[in-house]
Amino acid sequence: MEQDVSERGVPTDEGWLRGRRVWTVTAGVDVVSGLAAGFLDHGARVAQLSDDADTLAAAPEGVVRVSGTFDSQPAADAGVAALAEAAGPPDLVVIGMLPRAAMRLAPLSALSEGEWRLGACDGLRALAYVLRALGPRIKDRGVAVVVVGPSLSLVGCPQLVALTTLLEGQRGMVKSVARQWGGADVTLNWIAAAPRALSPLFDAAPLAAKPDAVSVALGRPLDPRREIAPVIGFLGSPAGRAITGASLTLDGGEWMVP
Amino acid sequence: MTPMDWTRQPGLLKGRTAIVTGAGGGIGRGLACALGLAGAHVVIAARRAATGEETAELVRRDGGSALAVETDVADRAAVDRMVAAAVAAFGGVDIAIHNASSGLSGKSFKLEEITDADWDEQVDVALGAAFHLAQATFPYLKDTGRGRFIVFNSSQGLHGGAMNPVYAATKSAQRGFVKALAREWGPHGIVVNAVAPAALTDAAKVYLESDPERSRQAMASFPLGRMGDMRDDIGAAVVALSSDYWRYVTGLTVPVDGGYYTAL
């Protein structure tokens, strides 16, 4: 595999992603556009399935765009089938399922039952639908699945109890399905990324860490394109096949879990 | 195993009121009995009135104070009624424990086999009911100045078991709920934690006794060499967690499991 040096001077290995087919599947908040740009930088072919018109519009040039929904198993099946038809079978699938309803800043006591369900529960079910839709297309093909979420769920976020609940639930599902599908040569991992590297929407969140409370080792924001996408590329490469069910914290050294 | 000597810490929770969901049997019954022995008024929320009353009778037989309230925890109105009954009987709520779990929790499922109905039942009890209990008890937990909210979890919420992806997901989700709520409720003086027990339930006993070799192998994964007694091991830990001794510990998932899960 050939080595490259990025603009930041960070050694990268383009071979991890060059020529590989990467699917991104997202619901709600756009947490993948920066990553998709990074995959393209490293020579991947990228196709995106999303229920959000803004996310699809923000996709970098060169990304195959497919619109779909995830509110039922047939809907998820149809979306994944359309993605397969448009882009061919994947080598790597990157998923981010963060319903916008989960982003409402409010104390738990102010949430209605419906808001709780939309925020904490529906995105969990949507992830299950997507994984089930993917199953027949990725089993026994050495495909890697990486689910991406903000690292705030590792430590909990006040006023975002539903979102924290959802994210930790998704992380638990990744572990469980990694165990169930490991024998079918599928790996599943969780990326807990610095929230603000994923979406500017997290600028408003009352994140647990402030500069004066917990220091971030690198002391600077992360660039998803240059710093997170390559790690995901590694997980999707032959070199990353031994890693499954793991939670990788890509936050520049904030929480250092555990 | 040396029996727990409950007389050494008499009245540790004296005068406090504790709600336990899913207390008609199993771990919930053990918790109710332990809390009663520690001096708490125990409100037993059970889906079936008869089993709830059985637990209440056990608490009273040991000299404790108990009220059984038939409660479907997935029903918000039923949870509100139960909390209102607790307040009417004992004047408030100091400790709320969400222990109830779906009957499907112990069933094995492949991801591909889970129906929407299976999904709903598990999520409604694990997450919906946690939400209901938290909202319904919040005003009272805030008032006491020593509120405790405890969610009963599982090692599968930590390591993500292969047995049932919905169970692993909902137990992991509960841990997120606890972490976020601990931060949100901390300013109100409410301590929020999860407990991941390894309890010798009746079902576990039957399972282990049916195959001595399987039992031996299973016990080898517990450094203490046994699963926990529902009252004297799991319940005792919850009494401690509910007491003032642990008032500065919040947002954690505490494995009460004889050393089974040490990866934290």
Number of domains chain B contains = 1
How many beta-carbon contacts under 8 Å exist across A and B?
A: 141
Question: Which chain B residue has its CA at the smallest distance from A127's CA?
Answer: B169
Report the DSSP beta bridge partners of residue A145. Answer: A93, A188
Asked whether residue A257 is assigned to any structural domain, the reply reads no
- Is the predicted pLDDT of residue A216 greater than 90, yes or no? no
What distance in Å separates the CA atoms of residue B82 and residue B44, rounded to the nearest whole number? Answer: 9
Round the average pLDDT of chain A to a whole number and report it.
91
Q: For residue A210, name the pLDDT band (cuts at 50, 70, 90).
A: low
Instruction: Return the top range by mean pLDDT from A7-11, B9-13, B91-95.
Output: B91-95
At B98-144, the pLDDT tens digits run 999 999 988 899 999 999 999 999 999 999 999 999 999 999 999 99
What distance in Å separates the CA atoms of residue B172 and residue B19, rounded to the nearest whole number? Answer: 23
Stretch A118-133: mean pLDDT, rounded? 97
Stretch A137-160: mean pLDDT, rounded? 96
ipTM (interface pTM): 0.94
Model pLDDT, residue B53: 98
**Are residues B18 and B40 in contact, defined by beta-carbon separation less than 8 angstroms?**
yes
Q: How many residues are recorded in chain A?
A: 258
Asked whether residue B263 is assigned to any structural domain, the reply reads no
170-189 in A: which are within 8 Å (CB) of B?
A: 170-181
Test B165 with A173 for CB contact under 8 angstroms.
yes
pTM: 0.94
Asked whether residue B264 is assigned to any structural domain, the reply reads no
- % of chain A at pLDDT higher than 70: 92
At B146-169, the pLDDT tens digits run 999 999 999 999 999 999 999 999
Q: Name which of A201-205, A240-244, B143-147 the model is least confident about.
A: A201-205
Domain that holds residue A13: 3-202+211-250
Asked whether residue A102 is assigned to any structural domain, the reply reads yes
Question: Does A125 lie at the interface with B, CB-CB under 8 angstroms?
Answer: yes
Test B173 with A172 for CB contact under 8 angstroms.
yes
Phi, psi of A57 (to 5 degrees): -65, -30
Asked whether residue B5 is assigned to any structural domain, the reply reads no
Asked whether residue B261 is assigned to any structural domain, the reply reads no
Domain that holds residue B148: 10-256
Phi, psi of B192 (to 5 degrees): -125, 125
Report the DSSP beta bridge partners of residue A64. Answer: A47
Asked whether residue B175 is assigned to any structural domain, the reply reads yes
Write the CATH number for B216.
3.40.50.720
Asked whether residue B1 is assigned to any structural domain, the reply reads no
Write the CATH number for A175.
3.40.50.720
Phi, psi of A188 (to 5 degrees): -130, 130
Which residue did the predictor score with more confidence, B257 or B214? B257
Asked whether residue A135 is assigned to any structural domain, the reply reads yes
Number of domains chain A contains = 1
- Is the predicted pLDDT of residue B45 greater than 50, yes or no? yes
Strand B191-197 relative to strand B253-256, pairing: parallel
Model pLDDT, residue A13: 63
Asked whether residue A169 is assigned to any structural domain, the reply reads yes
139-178 in B: which are within 8 Å (CB) of A?
A: 156-157, 159-178
Nearest CB to B172: which of A132, A169, A179?
Answer: A169
In this structure, what token pair is assigned to residue A59? 């996709």
- Is the predicted pLDDT of residue A14 greater than 70, yes or no? no
**Are residues B209 and B227 in contact, defined by beta-carbon separation less than 8 angstroms?**
no
Cα distance between the two ends of chain A: 33
